[in-house]
Structure 1
């Protein structure tokens, strides 16, 4: 009895192939929890479709991934002098976002990140002169720019990349390879056409692994079902049942990521109103679970436990039984499954 991730493997791989064709020279990204699939599973996929490189989030992830992937590993988190040293093979490429970082990595393979409109990290335009002198001591694999997902000001992602290409060229820095993130396929093609002497490589994770939602599905198995009447007390806090129905114990709790939710950027009055409504319900212990039964998302009976959740299913719904599975709407990047089932 488990929280399972079901994968339609043939459809999942067909989607991967579509993305690979749209972005020649793609740099697959596998970071965090491996987008819900795990690092080893994604390493197997990248090996299968023949990429020469795989991007990971941290040096610790690179240390694990080196045993599962034999190609180059690009660490996306920029190098810092104060970081804990992690033994890594020469096929690991470090991202660097400052002239100081480049100077501290003598002899290393590096990708230099430039500061984009994300305003997160990267070399500034005024540092390009100093950068040209320092790259002689490293093995430069290229430059990189990490772009925002949304451009609410109406600006053009391609123009932002072109602006940096012009700055790098004016500073007489090599433009053999440029790593880019968060471009559409048509934008990627525009850049490659405009700069045929530069190899553009798109770093892609979410779109590659999670771009077709129909290929994956989480399900939690029912472990126990207890019939209750309105007012019956139950659970750790001895709350009262809100009506006649069943308390359903289902696989999937906080250790799996159930009940955890990343903050959302709300845009528009409708989404804000929904957020206010959810917050109001939570103050009276009404929290909607990610589990679906008989066509409806069901309420938590109480906050999820470590490995299971307890749901309230009202009497007018179809009666659940031990062994049934409930579909769960879970975020891949925050979920850990018990088993992966391919079909």
Structure 2
């Protein structure tokens, strides 16, 4: 009995191809837990798509993926002086976000990140004049800019990239390749028209692998179903049942990422009100699970265990049978499945 990731392979791959067609020169991204699919699986998919480059998050990921992907590996985390050395092949390309970092990678293949409105990392405009001598000692693969997902101030992504292209050109730095993140196909097309001598390469992960929500589905198998009466105690903490019903034990616990939720940026009165309501319910041990039965997400009976979760079903809901599978609304980037099953659609 397992937490299973079901993949409609035909549909999933059709979506991948549509993204490749929209973004010529795309660099697929495979980082973290491989967007829920695993590094080896995404490396295989990138190879199938004939990608010449795969972006990974860290040098440790690159060391793992190098045995599954034969093209170039672009490490997105910037190099830092004094970092632990990780043996990598020459086809690995390091991102760098400082002049000192460039100088510390003599002979290496590098991509230089510029500081965007993300304010995360990157060389500043004042650094550009210092790069001339520094890049003579490395193999420069291009520059890169990582843009924000949302622009609540009304600024324009194309204008931000355009501004940096002009600064780089004014500094007489090579503009043969620009790696970009979080631009639409239309925005990229506009930049290509403005800078026809530059090759723009979009680094894309979420849209590539998770853009078609209906192509994948998590399901947890039901392991046990137990009737419980009002007032009876159950679980690790021996809570009392508030009413008659059933306890449903389903595959999927904390080791799978069940119950793990990343903080969210909340805007507007209604989302804030919902957040306050959820927090209030949690104080009385009422937490909504990701598992769905009879058309509704069901409540945890208690916090999820390491490999299973216990759900509470009220007495007016017919329970599932052992062996049934419950759909689970889980975040791919924080979920670890027991098995993956490919299903071919017509």
Give the Cα separation in 2 of the matches to 1:37 and 1:193.
36
Q: State the alpha-carbon separation in 1 of the partners of residues 247 and 31 from structure 2.
A: 37
Tell me, in whole angstroms, the C-alpha distance in 2 between the residues paired with 1:57 and 1:40: 14
CA deviations on 1:259-295 (whole Å, 9 max, x unpaired) are 0000000011110000000000000000000000010
Residue 278, structure 1, aligned to residue 285, structure 2: no
Name 1:85's counterpart in structure 2: 85
CA–CA separation in structure 2 for the residues paired with 1:318 and 1:340: 29
| Structure 2 residue aligned with 1:175 | 175
SS for the counterpart of 1:37 is coil
Measured in 2, the distance between the counterparts of 1:145 and 1:107 equals: 23
**1:158 partnered with 2:158:** yes
Give the drift of 1:318. Answer: 2.0
1:184 is displaced (CA, Å) by 0.9
SS in 2 for 1:90: coil
Distance in 1 (CA, whole Å) between partners of 2:175 and 2:242 is 65
Alignment of 1:94-133 (within 5 A): 94-133=94-133
| Alignment correspondent of 1:212 | 212
CA distance in structure 1 between the aligned counterparts of 2:212 and 2:318, rounded to whole angstroms: 30
SS of equivalent residue, structure 2 residue 6: strand
How far, CA to CA, are the matches of 2:246 and 2:324 in structure 1? 14
Q: TM-score, normalised by structure 2?
A: 0.99
1:110-169: CA deviation from partner (whole Å, max 9, x where unpaired): 000000000000000001000111100000000000000000000000000000000000
4+ residue stretches of structure 1 with deviation over 4 A?
none
Shift of 1:237: 0.8
Q: C-alpha deviations, 1:97-122, integer Å up to 9, x for none?
A: 00000000000000000000000000
Secondary structure of 2:101 counterpart: helix
SS at 1:82's partner residue? Answer: coil
In 2, the alpha carbon distance for the partners of 1:267 and 1:10 equals: 37
Q: 2: CA distance between counterparts of 1:314 and 1:89?
A: 58
How big is the alpha-carbon RMSD for the aligned residues of Structure 1 and Structure 2? 0.5
Three-state SS of the structure 2 residue aligned to 1:19 is helix
TM superposition shift of 1:316: 1.1
Encode CA deviations 1:190-245: one digit per residue, 9 max, x unaligned: 11111110000000000000001000000000001100111111011110112111
Mapping 1:1-343, distance limit 5 Å: 1-343=1-343
Structure 1, gaps ≥5 residues long: none
For residues 212 and 308 of structure 2, what CA distance do their matches in structure 1 show? Answer: 28
The number of aligned residues is: 343
Matched residue of 1:270: which SS? helix
Deviation at 1:333, TM superposition (A): 0.2
Stretch of structure 1 that moved more, 241-250 or 292-301: 241-250
Q: Once the two structures are superposed, what CA deviation does each residue of 1:156-185 show, in whole Å capped at 9, x if it has no partner?
A: 000000000000000000000000000011
